[in-house]
Structures are given as structure tokens and as C-alpha cells.
Amino acid sequence: MSTSPAGTREAEILTPRTQGLGTHAGAPVRQTNLWKDAWYRYIRNRGALIAGIVFVLLVAFCFIWPLISPYDPDAVDFSQANEAPSLDHPLGTDKFGRDLLTRTALGGQVSSGSASPRPW
């Protein structure tokens, strides 16, 4: 609020350019870019952050598990056919005795590869 020469109070008009900058006309405006703004908003969105972490963990699982799995995804073993989930086979086995967790991880690799853009 400011006082006019006649002694009455007048409301100061704040334009978007001067709002929050005080009385310094021509004060520099904070420069930013689209990527910084997007990253700032993403980090503060808790749901998006949790979903992003789950996605990264899922993709990491799909690429790491087949490397450390003790089971060959294509080896047929009829003695272990149609086993229920257990500590040895967390998702069980199929009718050919193949470990379903390893095969699911390999399927995730294929899906990730087909969903990602190719630069070539």
C-alpha cells in the first residue's frame, strides 16, 4: 500500500513481471530451462518417483537375473515338470521342467528391447 499526495491509500498494482520482486524495477528474472523444471517437478512428485524406482528395479532384474540364475532357460528336465513354486523355483516350472522365473526375466528383456527406441 502506498500513500498518494492527497493522503489516501491506494493499492499497489503488481504485474507478473514485478510481482515478488519488490520495488526494484528491472530486476533480473531467474532463468531456467524445460529439463530443470521437469526434473524439479518429478523429484517432488512422490508417486512418480516411486513408480520410476520400481521401473528401474524391474528392468535391472530382467537384465541381471538371467546372468546369475543357476538354471538354463531352454534346458528341458521332465523330472521337474509342473512343479509348484518353491525355494528352488520361486515361480515353479512349466510342463518341460524349465524355471519360470528365468524365462520371465528373459521375456522382460525382449519386451524392454522392443519398447526402447533405436537410434540406428
Strand partners, 2: 10
Cell numbers for 87: 525355494
| Distances from the Cα of 54 to the Cα of 15, 32, 57, 85, 101, angstroms | 43, 29, 5, 23, 18
**What is the C-alpha to C-alpha distance for residues 45 and 41, in angstroms, rounded to an integer?**
6
pLDDT band at 101 (very low <50, low <70, confident <90, very high): very high
Who contacts 38 (Cβ-Cβ below 8 Å, separation ≥6)?
Answer: none
pTM over 0.85: no
- Tens of pLDDT along 60-88? 999 999 999 999 999 999 999 999 999 99
Q: For residue 79, what is the DSSP state?
A: G
pLDDT tens, 103-117?
Answer: 999 999 998 888 877
